[in-house]
């Protein structure tokens, strides 16, 4: 039994999914996709594996799996900015505040899969459900399924959602019987967003200057600096500024990001900032109780305590200095000792 185009629209509308793409894989399409993955592989091998990446060879869907028949991808928009001021200390990027988008997208994808199974009379076809934490390069899957083109900020840019959307997708081994009208034609001849050609907003605004070019140097990305466990240099700590988690300056200045309406499940209602001294007092249990349902809570608490010390060093005042001087417990923590001393020195130097 075929799933017709109107059926798919009804399914997506019921789940409030406005943007999706479906790609079926034939021999010709597979050849083009493997060629594309080969080009990306060469770029990544020259750059080298980064901290948050898995084995490079596992990142390529069509080269690493024996069979791929159909991909059903969705783009779910989130709010471009939170209610907290961009200058607020302890700022958390809005995309990971108040909710865990991984679970929200998985639930939507599971619902799509169930509805497809009903239409196909096939409840045994279980696709792989992919949301961000899988090995594959989500941006590439979004490109293949027509969810946007690649911008100079290295994000996928959709004409209506801009860069502010999450990508999730179902990977089926078999070619589903889907109305040809619903299938996205593969376009790898034009992978770069045309509007980016004459625009350098993100290139000019990015503090570490990593926008533009074929492959981003993620080691220098401020968002990644707030997540890394490696020792940060003085310059990197200063780049973090007031941010506890994330950055996305390149998204904030992108002219494609305007008039974006978030999916109801991804709207936020409170200030996306964390009280730094309260955070420094937390243990794993209290941190999980307060923030465990949020997208940023996946990283170890000590990383956020380190970031809190960095922010205080960058933006704190005399009162913060007096509080830190009493926090001998932080000085005794081997993971935080050096950052604690750095923050105290920076604060003291501004107060003299």
Decide: helix, strand or coil at residue 137: coil
- 116 in a structural domain: yes
- For residue 255, name the pLDDT band (cuts at 50, 70, 90): very high
Q: What is the pLDDT of residues 273-308, one digit of tens each?
A: 999 999 999 999 999 999 999 999 999 999 999 999
305 token code pair: 């305590």
> What pLDDT score does 200 carry?
96
Please check whether residue 252 lies inside any domain of the structure: no
Which domain covers residue 71, as residue numbers?
Answer: 5-196
Q: Is residue 138 part of a domain?
A: yes
Closest to 321 measured CA to CA, from 281, 352, 348, 341: 348
Tell me, yes or no, whether 294 and 187 share the same domain: no
- Higher local confidence (pLDDT), 79 or 351: 79
| pTM attached to this predicted model | 0.92
Domain-embedded: residue 142: yes
CA-wise closest residue to 226 among 298, 165, 164, 134 = 298
**131 and 11 within one domain:** yes
CB 208 within 8 A of CB 225: no
Same domain as 177, residue 48:
yes
Q: What is the mean pLDDT of residues 222-244?
A: 96
pLDDT at 325: 95
Question: Any idea what DSSP says for residue 199?
Answer: -
* pLDDT confidence of residue 350: 81
pLDDT of res. 352 = 61
Region of poorest pLDDT, from 43-52, 194-203, 316-325: 43-52
Strands 243-245 and 91-92 come out as parallel
Contact by Cβ (8 Å): 243, 315? no
Residue 181 and residue 314 in one domain: no
Locus of tokens 């941010």: 243
**pLDDT at site 47:** 78
Distance CA(318)–CA(350), nearest Å, equals 9
Chain mean pLDDT for the chain:
93
pLDDT of residue 204 exceeding 70: yes
Q: What is the pLDDT of residue 230?
A: 93
Same domain, 289 and 189: no
Percent of the chain past pLDDT 70, that is, above it, reads: 97
Lowest mean pLDDT of 45-49, 105-109, 204-208, 335-339, name the range: 45-49
Q: Pick the residue with more confidence: 188 or 351?
A: 188
**Domain end point (choices 165, 196, 227):** 196
Q: What is the mean pLDDT of residues 195-204?
A: 95
- Does residue 217 fall inside a structural domain? no
Q: How wide is the angle at C-alpha 109 spanned by C-alphas 63 and 261, nearest 5°?
A: 110
pLDDT score recorded for residue 123: 62
Please answer whether residues 85 and 289 qualify as being in contact, where contact means their C-beta atoms are separated by less than 8 angstroms. Answer: no
Q: How many structural domains is the chain composed of?
A: 2
Q: Where are the alpha helices (DSSP H) in 89-128?
A: 101-120
Please, which pLDDT band fits residue 351 given cuts at 50, 70 and 90?
low
Q: Is the pLDDT of residue 160 over 70?
A: yes
Q: Could you tell me how many residues make up the chain?
A: 352
Of 2, 132, 146, 11, whose CA–CA distance to 73 is shortest?
146
Q: Which two tokens stand for residue 145?
A: 């399924």
Residues 288 and 166 occupy one common structural domain: no
CA angle in degrees (0–180, nearest 5) for 75-48-212: 55
Listed residues 132, 163, 196: the one ending a domain = 196
CA distances, 82 to each of 38, 56, 79, 98 (Å) = 38, 34, 7, 10
The token duo for 309 is 């010390």
pLDDT (0 to 100) of residue 340: 97
Q: How far apart are CA 70 and CA 193, in angstroms?
A: 25
**Chain segment 44-90, per-residue pLDDT in tens:** 888 776 676 667 888 899 988 889 999 999 999 998 888 999 999 99
């Amino acid at each position: 039994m075929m799933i017709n185009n109107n059926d798919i629209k009804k399914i997506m509308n019921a789940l409030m999914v406005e943007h999706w793409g479906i790609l079926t894989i034939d021999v010709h399409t597979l050849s083009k996709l493997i060629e594309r993955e080969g080009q990306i592989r060469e770029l990544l091998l020259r750059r080298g594996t980064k901290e948050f990446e898995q084995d490079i060879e596992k990142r390529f869907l069509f080269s690493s799996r024996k069979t791929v028949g159909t991909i059903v991808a969705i783009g779910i928009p989130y709010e471009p900015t939170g209610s907290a001021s961009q200058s607020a200390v302890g700022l958390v990027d809005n995309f990971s505040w108040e909710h865990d988008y991984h679970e929200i997208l998985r639930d939507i994808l599971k619902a799509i899969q169930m509805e497809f199974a009903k239409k196909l009379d096939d409840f045994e076809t279980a696709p792989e459900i992919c949301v961000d934490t899988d090995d594959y390069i989500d941006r590439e899957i979004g490109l293949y399924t027509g969810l946007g083109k690649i911008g100079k900020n290295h994000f996928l840019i959709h004409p209506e959602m801009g860069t502010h959307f999450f990508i999730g997708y179902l990977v089926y081994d078999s070619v589903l019987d889907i109305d040809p009208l619903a299938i996205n034609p593969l376009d790898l001849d034009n992978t770069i967003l045309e509007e980016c050609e004459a625009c350098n907003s993100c290139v000019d605004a990015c503090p570490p200057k990593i926008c533009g070019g074929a492959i981003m140097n993620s080691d220098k990305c401020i968002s990644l600096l707030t997540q890394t466990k490696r020792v940060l240099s003085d310059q990197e700590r200063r780049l973090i500024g007031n941010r506890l988690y994330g950055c996305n300056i390149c998204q904030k200045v992108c002219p494609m990001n305007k008039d974006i309406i978030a999916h109801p499940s991804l709207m936020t209602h409170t200030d996306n900032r964390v009280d730094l001294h309260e955070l420094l007092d937390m243990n794993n249990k209290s941190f999980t109780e307060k923030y465990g349902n949020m997208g940023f809570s996946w990283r170890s608490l000590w990383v956020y305590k380190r970031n809190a010390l960095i922010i205080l060093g960058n933006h704190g005042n005399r009162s913060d200095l007096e509080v830190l001087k009493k926090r001998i417990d932080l000085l005794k923590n081997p993971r935080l000792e050096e950052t604690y001393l750095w923050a105290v020195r920076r604060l003291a130097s501004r107060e003299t």
